[in-house]
Amino acid sequence: KAVPVNSRRHKDWSVKKSNDYAFARDVNSVPLMAVEFSNAAAEYVIVFAGKDEVMIPVVLLGLRKAENLYLTKGHGWDAKYIPAFVRRYPFVFSSSPNGGSNTLTLCIDEEYAGCNQKGDGERLFDPKGERTKYLESMLEFVKKYQEHSLRTRAFCAKLKDLNLLDPMQA
């Protein structure tokens, strides 16, 4: 349940981060940014997925639908490197077309187990309604993720232009 983060709705909200990755239970692949290749290559299979003009690198987490072989029975992650797509959760940008340009809005999944109004973990806003350092750092992380996403798209477009990718069916 991703909703835009705002100081009125989330004034008293905190996020308690944990090593519980149960939210990724039914995910058999996640996008990978080009900058992550060197860290991910030792532990994951990287493939390029997509159709026509849109091609993105992904790491395979499982071979069957809704299968994540990197999730342990205790909901931990069974790899040294965790893709940024997973690490940014419960935060995500949503985009909405606005007069020809995209406006990005920071959203939070309110159903994430670590979200609370009891003060457990890191607060999103201070008592004056200003962003905390934690929220600022998460906003910066998601911004950087978005920047790397655009660079990765350009990289994939170049690979496609150079005819370096061969189609395969799995």
Which tens digits make up the pLDDT trace of 129-157? 999 999 999 999 999 999 999 999 999 99
Kindly report, residue by residue over 91-139, the tens digit of the pLDDT: 998 876 554 456 789 999 999 999 999 999 999 999 999 999 999 999 9
108 vs 10: CA distance, rounded Å: 10
* CA 108, 4, 68, 153 torsion-angle sign: negative
First to last CA, the chain: 31
C-alpha to C-alpha distance for 53 and 56, rounded to whole angstroms: 10
Whether 79 and 85 have beta carbons less than 8 Å apart is answered as no
pLDDT of residue 3: 94
pLDDT of residue 170: 67
Q: Are 31 and 85 in contact (CB under 8 A)?
A: yes
In this structure, which amino acid lies at residue 146? Q
* Cβ contacts of 133 within 8 Å, gap of 6 or more: none
DSSP letters along 46-82, please? EEEEEETTEEEEEEES-SSTT--TTB-TTS-B-SS--
Q: Encode 22-40: b = buried (16+ Cβ within 10 Å), e = exposed.
A: ebbeebbbbbbbbbbeeeb
- Model confidence over 60-81: pLDDT tens digits? 999 999 999 999 999 999 999 9
Please say whether the beta carbons of 83 and 68 come within 8 A.
no
pTM of the model: 0.87
